Structure 1
Amino acid sequence: MGVDLDVVFSDGNVIAALIYSDLVRSPWPLFCIYGPPRRAKRKRFWVKLEEMVKDFSGPWAAFGDFNSIKESGEKKGGSNVSEKLYEQHWSYLGFSGPAFTWTNRREGLANIKERLDQCLCDYVWQKMFPKAGIRHLSNSNSDHNPILMDTYMEDTTPDRPFRFEAMWTKEESSKEVVEDAWLTSVEGSQGYRLARKLDATRRELKRWNKKCFGNSRERIKELEAKIAQLQVSNPARENLELKASLNLELDDWLEREDLKWKQKSRELWTKVGDRNTRFFHLSTLVRRRRKRINEIKLEDGSWINTREEIQHCFNENFKSLYQSECNDVLEDLENLIEPCISEEENEELCRVPSREEIRKVVFKMKSLKAPGPDNFPTLFYKHYWETVGNQIILATQSFFRSGRILSELNETFIALIPKKNGSCNFNQFCLINLWNVCYKVI
């Protein structure tokens, strides 16, 4: 779902923005709040917020740091002073995660924790987003926990296919994993051997990633969960020291995410050594949003927006586009075009390429271009060339000798890229083929 944001007002306590989304035809206002720390000023702030809400017709939501609590259960430690946050017809959006979003980080009885960060909305907004909720995330270096508004909170996530992660190349132990997998004994053609060795490597890398290296996202979530648990535990000195140690480890894993997001962003002009995770992350989100297909307009003028309907629509259009027709074929086709290539040129084109030529072709390719169906980018072959290079050379040379290629190596992903902003029918998308590296070399 694509989302646009237009800021219409801002001051020291509130940023008011109109939210435009694909699933909601009319915009709705979102108020990002930083409540005044002083109680005397907060009363005037709530009056102001109520006036702004009334100025906007339709559903609305407000979330952020309200700097106040509405009931005693939202505070632990210190004196409990709750206050009215909102009108009776306003709703409080629930949350998941740690119960408190702020702590003064002091020890023992001096420690105070509060749920200062809230989300409010009206009934119409909650009806419009029935699965909406707030996620309390774990912090690494701040006394506040960040909160995430999710308009469609789901408990389950789909299984993800194997992806070779560029950050794996930073671990020396990954070479041993690839070497062991490449020792797999396989009988058959050189192309078949390459495919089976890639299968073995894929299995071993997945096992190694889970047991030894660990998925960076899972590890970050694990560290954040431990930090969140410490935030609700007894604020003793040993717990505060452990939390500081976990914060340092979390920072280390966040650095590994940098290379991961660079790989996803496809920003090929940026040097590998440059570290800017936020830039790569933003580039990835922008690229995904630009290429996302949210809805399609059919020939009869109706619209479809579910994944299954859009998939069926494109499948039928491709079948119609590439369906062969029974046309008369001329018997003598060889004489339609006069020869323009000499015998010497033909021999040069048909000769078996040398080992060095194949190596140069591989190393001239962009390392992090989108991979084909086997999900091994060129970076994999470059980094582990001493181990895998010989097999891809043999598979390439075998094709030039026999003229045959394993169909598995010839498989291709077809990506649909919008030709312009707002593309909404089949003819407004261009096709991009994503080939396996071996096929591109040939």
Structure 2
Amino acid sequence: MVGKSGGQMIIWDTNCFVAEDVIKFDSVLGIRVRDPSERFNYEFIVCRARRFNKFIIECGLIDVPIRGRLFTRISDDGTKFSKLDRFLVFEKFHQFWGNLAAVTLDRTSSDHVPIVLKDERKDFGPKPFKVFDVWLDEDGVDQVIVDAWEKPTDSGIDKEIEILKDKSLKLELKAETVVLNEAELESWKESRSKWLENEKIKAKMLKQKAQLKWNIEGDENTSFFHSMIRNKYNRCNICGLNIKGIWCEEPRDIKAEVFNHFKKIFDEPNNMRPSLENLVYPSITNDEAHDLERAFSESKIHEAILDCGSSKAPGPDGFNLRFYKKFWELLKEELVDAINWFWCNEEISRGCNASFVTLVPKKSGPVCLNDYRPISLIESYYKIIAKLLSIRLRKVLPSLM
């Protein structure tokens, strides 16, 4: 592509792509940025950005996130920066190449930074187990959980959909040339019905993966959910980090950098605590103090669980609060014992206190760990205890204000 300021060269691997057609325009859409964060020391023109964003949306394009640098064009005097270079791809392209990332290379004589489009999934190790809400709606799941709730079964729904769909379509094609007998017609109805039912189940799973909340239930546009999942993956995927001024893509080095970074943040240099002696502050009554110190009853624990959100992101155990709500009768005895053990011993067991720290990008195109916001995903057991304590404290806080 050639513009007024010179030219841009696009290079691709001919083993993967073939240029079947070349389209030339008399007029070319000018190079634009999408929001103010893509300019530094440059004028940002809102109307141009709005037109550019409208063009991307109306054409159904996906803006592939860029990693390694915040800007791709630098002025000759080194004072002005812009993000002018990007890859815009169609949804169908994204379906075949789902792990896309645009990575910057070193800039030499050009005022633009070269960018490379990559499709690769980094192996950061095994993915943790996670319960999907749709599993809890399956027929017979209650018995499965009762028999072995620590090891939920894998439905293998994609394979089942493929088999049922193939069987249904083959019979439909056959019906176009010959009349199906009664057995074949019944087989077609059954396979098609099961196929569509499994598509609905899969849509619910995709909905939870995309972590979307809809005002209207039953939106089953699976292609849209797939798009949301891929966009979320591309936005949140850490394909590399700037470590001590060097762009690194090796998972082992990235994990070590993340560990060391947060170890420094969460480490406590000393055990000194501020003293509360000789301070005058409001106090609670003896009855309120007695109420705070009572052990939690089974009914109060159940009420606290029901008051928690059902489908929040789970911690390392993989079980969300909806699982506890559905199988309360099965789990209540052990759960009540565990919470009362915490109350008597005034501590949470080390394993039950584990959590995931997930990194959410603060902005588009994160480069270093400071560009991510850490969020702690705690286990449901911890959430239940926190809910119980907050309910009790809520009763006495007004008297301390």
Per-residue deviation, 1:347: 3.6
Alpha-carbon distance in 2 for matches of 1:171, 1:368: 17
Structure 1 residues 51, 386: CA separation in 2 closer, same or farther (over 3 Å shift)? closer
Structure having the higher strand fraction is 1
- Asked if 1:175 is matched to 2:119, the reply is no
Per-residue deviation, 1:215: 2.3
- Asked if 1:219 is matched to 2:160, the reply is yes
> Is the partner of 1:423 in helix, strand or coil?
coil
The equivalent residue for 2:209 is 264
**Which segment is superposed worse, 344-353 or 267-276?**
267-276
Alpha-carbon distance in 2 for matches of 1:230, 1:153: 39
Alpha-carbon distance in 2 for matches of 1:27, 1:346: 72
CA contact (8 A) 1:268 1:368 kept: no
- Asked if 1:410 is matched to 2:353, the reply is yes
The equivalent residue for 2:249 is 305
Q: Which has the higher contact order (CA 8 A, sep 6+)?
A: 2
The equivalent residue for 1:333 is 275
> Is the partner of 1:434 in helix, strand or coil?
strand
Per-residue deviation, 1:159: 6.0
For structure 1, which runs of at least 5 residues remain unmatched after alignment? 1-7, 9-24, 30-47, 56-134, 136-146, 182-200
Alpha-carbon distance in 1 for matches of 2:306, 2:236: 29
Task: State the Cα deviation string for residues 157-208 of structure 1 (Å, max 9, x = none).
Answer: x865432221122223111122234xxxxxxxxxxxxxxxxxxx122x23xx
The equivalent residue for 1:392 is 335
The equivalent residue for 2:55 is none
Structure 1 residues 267, 311: CA separation in 2 closer, same or farther (over 3 Å shift)? same
The equivalent residue for 1:366 is 309
Between the two proteins, the alignment pairs up a number of residues equal to: 281
Alpha-carbon distance in 2 for matches of 1:219, 1:53: 46
> Is the partner of 2:376 in helix, strand or coil?
strand
Structure 1 residues 172, 298: CA separation in 2 closer, same or farther (over 3 Å shift)? same
CA contact (8 A) 2:97 2:119 kept: no
User: TM-score w.r.t. structure 1 length?
Assistant: 0.52
The equivalent residue for 2:40 is none
The residue type equivalent to 1:177 in the other structure is V
Counterpart of 1:383 (choices 316, 326, 336) is 326
The equivalent residue for 1:254 is 199
Alpha-carbon distance in 1 for matches of 2:278, 2:196: 67
The equivalent residue for 1:52 is 23
Alpha-carbon distance in 1 for matches of 2:24, 2:278: 75
Per-residue deviation, 1:222: 4.0
Alpha-carbon distance in 1 for matches of 2:228, 2:280: 49
Alpha-carbon distance in 1 for matches of 2:10, 2:188: 42
Counterpart of 2:294 (choices 340, 343, 351) is 351
For structure 2, which runs of at least 5 residues remain unmatched after alignment? 2-7, 13-18, 27-91, 99-117, 386-401
CA contact (8 A) 1:295 1:303 kept: yes
> Is the partner of 2:382 in helix, strand or coil?
helix
Per-residue deviation, 1:229: 8.9
Task: State the Cα deviation string for residues 1-20 of structure 1 (Å, max 9, x = none).
Answer: xxxxxxx9xxxxxxxxxxxx
The residue type equivalent to 1:342 in the other structure is I
CA contact (8 A) 1:297 1:304 kept: yes
Alpha-carbon distance in 2 for matches of 1:404, 1:391: 17
Alpha-carbon distance in 1 for matches of 2:134, 2:320: 13
Per-residue deviation, 1:440: 0.6
CA contact (8 A) 2:313 2:320 kept: yes
Alpha-carbon distance in 2 for matches of 1:295, 1:338: 53
Alpha-carbon distance in 2 for matches of 1:422, 1:269: 28
Per-residue deviation, 1:273: 5.1
> Is the partner of 2:351 in helix, strand or coil?
coil
Structure 1 residues 315, 246: CA separation in 2 closer, same or farther (over 3 Å shift)? same
Task: State the Cα deviation string for residues 396-434 of structure 1 (Å, max 9, x = none).
Answer: 233223313222221111111111222211122121111
The residue type equivalent to 2:306 in the other structure is F
Alpha-carbon distance in 1 for matches of 2:248, 2:170: 44
> Is the partner of 2:23 in helix, strand or coil?
helix
> Is the partner of 1:409 in helix, strand or coil?
helix
> Is the partner of 1:202 in helix, strand or coil?
coil
Structure 1 residues 236, 162: CA separation in 2 closer, same or farther (over 3 Å shift)? farther
Per-residue deviation, 1:274: 5.1
Structure 1 residues 279, 384: CA separation in 2 closer, same or farther (over 3 Å shift)? farther
The equivalent residue for 1:287 is 232
Alpha-carbon distance in 2 for matches of 1:308, 1:272: 42
Task: State the Cα deviation string for residues 242-268 of structure 1 (Å, max 9, x = none).
Answer: 678644432221111122112212223
CA contact (8 A) 1:262 1:281 kept: no
The equivalent residue for 2:284 is 342
Structure 1 residues 271, 363: CA separation in 2 closer, same or farther (over 3 Å shift)? farther
